Chains A and B, each alone.
Chain A
């Protein structure tokens, strides 16, 4: 019972600022005649028409699908690659400068290049997302695997575990807290690139919707798109945190005790 109350209290503490902000926006915009800042009540009515759930299959589903597929491809490639590079003494030195260079280019700036190379279909968007998201994951994995604790390594060697068992069953699992830090950054980048990749040459997706609405002076629609983007980003992060908490139960449990 106490726990439930504490939980509710925690939500209220976190929610007071958004509530105050929404209330202020609602009141301040109520009499607005400025076409760029329509009343929040009007936006809300349009929001319900658009997103509960009329346009969700057309604009939300493709965005989320591209995001998840791109992000998963990035993780599936970058984690094993990072593990192999991090475990090799010279590998890191050869690869890191290149990775650092490519990573320094703002991911969104690469979208036009991908359009030139791959055209304007979903494959291009997924490739852009996967490419951009893979670098933070790769670097975090390299770092995590490279800094395997020496006692852990000695122990594994003294068991005469094979090189591959040491790599995949000892070094990589031990590096997972660091890997997840990279996944988190990669996921945020994936979200940004998902939207940015839709801004050019697409009729579907939330990025496309919002841009087309703006260009067509459908300002209220554009606002609903922006608000939905915020909500989606927030919810996706919550899901990500949940997955991390579950996957790294051992790590958080240990941290809580020490």
Chain B
């Protein structure tokens, strides 16, 4: 068997609070296969974002461990890029779009022309050619989130982690961004992990959905989404299978099943 892209092994997370210890995650285990699109869903406050912070190396689990390609995670790993919900804060407002995208490339030690080319390619990939000189705050919310995605793929990551990436944009933009993410995944073969509270979105995008439930949270179910790719907003969402799966996941998240 091949090594999974990400291996979450019996991960436990406790936070000390003034009112005692807050147990957030209790023995969460899951393997993300190379190239898969996996969504993590669950009721709000269940610890989805905590798990995501652990996956990106921004926090360390109190128990268990997370491995990226067999390497135990101790800090933010190479080849992993992050897109956060709050694009207004995660994009640096004092940098232009192109400089925002170039910022994580500092580690890649590319030449100036190579950096510029990489920035242009990334902007083209997300359909924002020609906006490099603007400041992020001059763009619409959907465009800012596209910039975040461009910045993430500029480092040519093998793993993309997203935290509620489309939560702050309108419905139409959300559909466009969902399809953009699927295109990016296809173009670069990136293993993608997404935390979301939107079950339709999770079903539409994913190969597999991990349902977290309970306090402290455990993996309640792992749902394989056996709807063939390519998917489309027009047909996939009307598919019977889509309806069945979303009903099933919804029941899980709500604790109805």
Which A residues are within 8 Å of any B CB, using their own CB?
149, 151-152, 154-155, 157-162, 165, 169-170, 173-174, 176, 250-251, 253-254, 257-258
Are B89 and A159 in contact, with the CB atoms below 8 A?
no
* Contact residues in A for B138 (Cβ distance below 8 Å): 253, 257
| B93 at interface, CB cutoff 8 A | yes
Closest Cβ–Cβ distance, residue A150 to chain B (whole Å)? 8
Segment 128-159 of B: residues with Cβ below 8 Å from A: 135, 137-138, 155
Q: How many residues of B contact A (CB 8 A)?
A: 26
CA distance A46 to B104 in the complex (A): 62
Identify which of B53, B90, B155 gathers the most chain A CB atoms within 10 Å of its CB: B90
CA distance A151 to B91 in the complex (A): 9
A160-B137 CB under 8 A given contacts A152-B90, A155-B90: no
Binds A, one of B76-84, B168-176, B191-199: B76-84
CA distance A162 to B76 in the complex (A): 12
CA distance A250 to B94 in the complex (A): 5
* Contact residues in A for B93 (Cβ distance below 8 Å): 250-251, 254
Are B76 and A158 in contact, with the CB atoms below 8 A?
yes
Segment 37-64 of B: residues with Cβ below 8 Å from A: 53, 56-58
| B240 at interface, CB cutoff 8 A | no
A152-B135 CB under 8 A given contacts A160-B107, A173-B94: no
Are B84 and A151 in contact, with the CB atoms below 8 A?
yes
CA distance A170 to B91 in the complex (A): 11
CA distance A172 to B70 in the complex (A): 36
* Contact residues in B for A159 (Cβ distance below 8 Å): 76, 103-104, 107, 155
Of chain B, the residue at the smallest CB distance from A173 is B94
A165-B106 CB under 8 A given contacts A160-B75, A251-B94: yes
Closest Cβ–Cβ distance, residue B217 to chain A (whole Å)? 21
Which B residues are within 8 Å of any A CB, using their own CB?
53, 56-58, 75-76, 78, 80-82, 84, 86, 89-90, 92-95, 103-104, 106-107, 135, 137-138, 155
Q: Which 3 A-B pairs have the closest CB atoms?
A: A159-B104, A151-B89, A158-B82
Closest Cβ–Cβ distance, residue B226 to chain A (whole Å)? 32
| New A-B contacts (15) at CB < 8 Å, excluding given A159-B103, A160-B104 | A149-B89, A151-B84, A151-B86, A154-B82, A154-B90, A158-B76, A158-B81, A159-B104, A161-B104, A161-B107, A162-B107, A250-B137, A253-B138, A257-B138, A258-B137
Closest Cβ–Cβ distance, residue A90 to chain B (whole Å)? 20
CA distance A254 to B76 in the complex (A): 30
Task: Write 22 A-B pairs (CB below 8 A) sorted by A numbering.
Answer: A149-B89, A151-B84, A152-B89, A154-B53, A155-B84, A157-B76, A158-B80, A158-B81, A159-B103, A159-B107, A161-B104, A165-B106, A169-B103, A173-B92, A174-B92, A174-B94, A250-B93, A250-B135, A253-B138, A254-B93, A254-B137, A258-B137
A253-B92 CB under 8 A given contacts A158-B76, A160-B75: no
* Contact residues in A for B89 (Cβ distance below 8 Å): 149, 151-152, 155
Identify which of A151, A158, A169, A173 gathers the most chain B CB atoms within 10 Å of its CB: A158
Are A160 and B76 in contact, with the CB atoms below 8 A?
yes
* Contact residues in B for A254 (Cβ distance below 8 Å): 93, 135, 137
Of chain B, the residue at the smallest CB distance from A165 is B106
* Contact residues in A for B104 (Cβ distance below 8 Å): 159-161
Of chain B, the residue at the smallest CB distance from A247 is B94
A157-B94 CB under 8 A given contacts A152-B89, A165-B106: no
Are A176 and B94 in contact, with the CB atoms below 8 A?
yes
Of chain A, the residue at the smallest CB distance from B90 is A155
* Contact residues in A for B76 (Cβ distance below 8 Å): 157-160
CA distance A174 to B88 in the complex (A): 13
Of chain A, the residue at the smallest CB distance from B58 is A154
Q: Kindly identify which residue among A157, A158, A161, A257 contacts B106, using a CB–CB cutoff of 8 Å.
A: A161
* Contact residues in A for B90 (Cβ distance below 8 Å): 151-152, 154-155
Q: Kindly identify which residue among A157, A162, A173, A253 contacts B58, using a CB–CB cutoff of 8 Å.
A: A157
* Contact residues in A for B82 (Cβ distance below 8 Å): 154-155, 158
Of chain A, the residue at the smallest CB distance from B53 is A154
Closest Cβ–Cβ distance, residue B111 to chain A (whole Å)? 18
